[in-house]
A and B are shown apart, each in its own frame.
Chain A
Amino acid sequence: MLSVEGVSFNYGPHPALREVSLRVEPGEIVCLLGANGAGKTTLMNVISGLARPQQGKVLLAGRELSGLKPSRVVEAGVAQVPEGRQLFAPLSVRENLELGAFSRRSRGERQEVARDMERALAMFPVLAQRLGQPAGTLSGGEQQMLAMARALMARPKVLLMDEPTLGLAPLVTREIFDVIRRLPASGASVLLVEQNALGALSVAQRGYIITSGQIRFSGTSREILGDVLLREAFLGPEKVTAAGEVRR
């Protein structure tokens, strides 16, 4: 479905990604693990068309995405839930959701969009009570749910999620992971970037580990979890909190 092939990206003279390759198959949840500054967000931006790779390409079902404007990437079927939510704070919850479906405006899908809105509200009932409220007034967890619901309104084939649980309470974190687990059933494969490695591995089938812009390991979640050395080497010595969060 989504494949990244040999992508390199430099910020000026500083390499941020070096020949990164990864794949996300239909119906799969794949996580990308790594420390701060390892290049995870840069890779998300390259896939979404916000940054142009100096080398390599991004393909969706065989069609090249690299070089397209971000708006075209969304239309092709790759949506992103950016780090820090990035909602349209002064706009209402409803307007945020409507704009999530902006890429579908010319396809005459009015009724489908309306139905998807209902489905999104069923998935995140808390948003249904807040439809008229400015998005900036929601709590952190609610904002994350809105950000996810908004991205799903584009009906993506692949959903990129950048640190969806960052800064959220354990209970909310669990709720978010529950939603992510259900996404493939609704038609979206997921590429999940997380620092919460245990949480991510509990929902993902496979994972990649990235350090200093290079993929160092890839395997099933079980393989990564089972490999103590790998955990020590790439995720650091860890303490696992009661919420299942890994702290280093």
Chain B
Amino acid sequence: MTGGEQLAQYLMSGLTTGSIYALVALGFCLIHKATHIVNFAQGDFLSLGGLMMYSLLHWAGLPAPLAFVLAVAAVALVGAALERLAIRPAKSRDAMVLIFITVAASMFMRGIFKEVWGKQALAMPPLSPDVALKFLGATFTPQNLWVLGITLAAIALLSFFFRATLTGKAMRAVAANPRAAALMGIDTDRMVLYSFALAGALGGLAGVIITPITTLNYQVGVMMGLKGFASAVLGGYGSFTGAIAGGLALGLLESLATGVVSSAYKDLIAFVILLAVLFVRPGGLLGRAQQVRV
């Protein structure tokens, strides 16, 4: 393998995991915009996406496209349920209290996953049969292309939704000024509910497309969730473009570091970057989103 081919290989795998980090980071971002909290159950949405897909394929015997849609929809529903049943009824509006509710929800979900799906790794089939493809010296599978293509499509749909539909604009309005949004006749509770459902859908989608490449078990989303969070911070917490850029950057850095240094330090990279960002701009990236309000 030449140096160039190796580089192409790292780029390919970096973009693939980076896409997943971006999807998870977008989920964090959506909920932050709507409620100013960090949703620690975002990673579990990813696990659930994979687990639902597995069950719908193997237990229910559904065809892959149908299982795909239902798995994503199911996680969206779980996201909505988290808001409706745990966040909205909370007596306190204190961000710290709400964040701990998501921590509890995360542990609760993981407990249920372990009961239903067990602790062992499950074999998730790829969306289309694995064959080795070659491009510019990089070897990859069709699943890599599915991940890249579906992520791109999801980002395009999301951006269309927020730019071109009235509901999407109403959600941005709630993020910008909830009081004024209510005065315009926008049901702010409902928009927050939609944010959680969308975040669920994004997490579920990430889980469905990445688990054939990584592995699938009840807590596969935990590490991915943390990496997605690191991506969101890296990109500037609360910014959609930042989430995408941060996700791709982290995926690429991780993949290059694995190649140049050692795969043993793969997970370390994400957190060194997270710490570095927080040290260099303490609170700065987080603070920006709040300054936007005029």
Contact = CB atoms under 8 A, between A and B. Distances in A.
Interface string B80-109: 000000000000000000000000000000
A50 B169 CA distance: 22
A95 B181 CA distance: 12
A46 B94 CA distance: 24
B186 A102 contact: yes
Interface string A78-96: 0110100011111100010
Contacts of A136: 292, 294
Interface stretch (A68-76, A116-124, A218-226): A68-76
Interface in B236-266: none
Interface residues of A, number: 26
Contacts of A87: 177, 180, 294
B185 interface: yes
Nearest to A153: B184
A90 B172 contact: yes
Given A86-B179, A87-B294, A89-B292, A103 B173 contact: no
A125 B173 CA distance: 24
Interface residues of B, number: 19
Given A89-B292, A89-B293, A95-B169, A154 B176 contact: no
Interface in B186-216: 186-187
A88 B180 contact: yes
A42 interface: no
A16 to B, nearest CB: 18
Contacts of B172: 88, 90-91, 95
Contact of A70 (B166, B169, B176, B183): B183
Contact of A99 (B169, B179, B293, B294): B169
A50 B176 CA distance: 18
Given A88-B172, A89-B294, A50 B179 contact: yes
Interface of A: 48, 50, 69-71, 74-75, 79-80, 82, 86-91, 95, 98-100, 102-103, 105, 136, 150, 154
Interface of B: 166, 169-170, 172-173, 176-177, 179-187, 292-294
